[in-house]
Amino acid sequence: MSRERTLRDVSLRRPLIGVTTYHRDRAGRERFHVPAAYVDAVRAAGGLPVLLPPGDARPAELLDAVAGLVLCGGGDIDPLRFGATGHEAVYATCEERDAFELDLAAEALARRTPTLAICRGMQILNVALGGALHVHLPDVVGEAVAHRVSRERFTYHPVRLAGGSELAALLGGERVRVASWHHQAVERLGTGLEPVAWADDGTIEAVELAGRPELRAVQWHPELQYGEPDGRQRRLFEDLIARARS
């Protein structure tokens, strides 16, 4: 087989992408699950998704099998993980999931695994690097910007991107409309992280790690906007797959 043929086959191969799931659902028959939009977006961008449920004692071994990682959204991180106290609005915390994803994120960073961290995933990244979160965002910034309207449905709001950031270059501009579904957000940045996007109330909406282009972390939900005609949110998944192929 020629070298040219080998390189072409590698470039066309659908890379295996690990997709984290929600916590263990103990209602009725126990199960793990994740919204289909994450899986659909990875597939549409050219990847082969494989679900990574929490509870594995050696999450590092899972990264041996995948070329990229999506850290998904979902329930809250236990505030004790970042030195905060509880709040009546905190929901669906899970020690099993927190421990698993924090270890997985740390290992992915160490290995430079191409990673797309979404909503809770960005919060996991921040906590893994020693940062902290606002436990209930409306208590801090009010409700002028609707970051979440309910646990059952998402909303939209504009976000400003830092000029010159990798994210602004990828999304093609310094203003973007995003699908939002969260009530927690970055308070204290983890080591090395830089904010590169903000809501109009000052909430940090995306972060970057200097010299680490394989990492994308956004507070919004690009998987819910994958099919939008302008294709801007789709680029986050296409970028992940391209880096996983390289």
Distance of CA 176 to the CA centre of its chain: 17
Residue among 205, 208, 214, 223 flagged as catalytic: 223
Angle in degrees, 0-180, between the axes of helices 95-111 and 120-128, rounded to the nearest 10: 70
Q: Is 143 a catalytic residue?
A: no
Burial label, 223 (beta-carbon count in 10 A; 0-12, 13-18, 19+): buried
Choice among 23, 107, 119, 157 that is catalytic: 119
119 is catalytic: yes
Phi and psi angles of residue 148, each rounded to the nearest 5 degrees, phi first: -155, 135
For 198, phi then psi, to 5°, come to -145, 145
Mapped onto helix, strand or coil, the DSSP state of residue 199 is: strand
Q: Specify whether 88 is catalytic.
A: no
CB-based contact 19:72 (threshold 8 Å):
yes
58 to 55, 100, 107, 224: CA distances (angstroms): 9, 9, 10, 31
CA R_g for the chain: 17
Closest CA to 182 of 244, 90, 57: 90
Which residues belong to the active site? 119, 221, 223
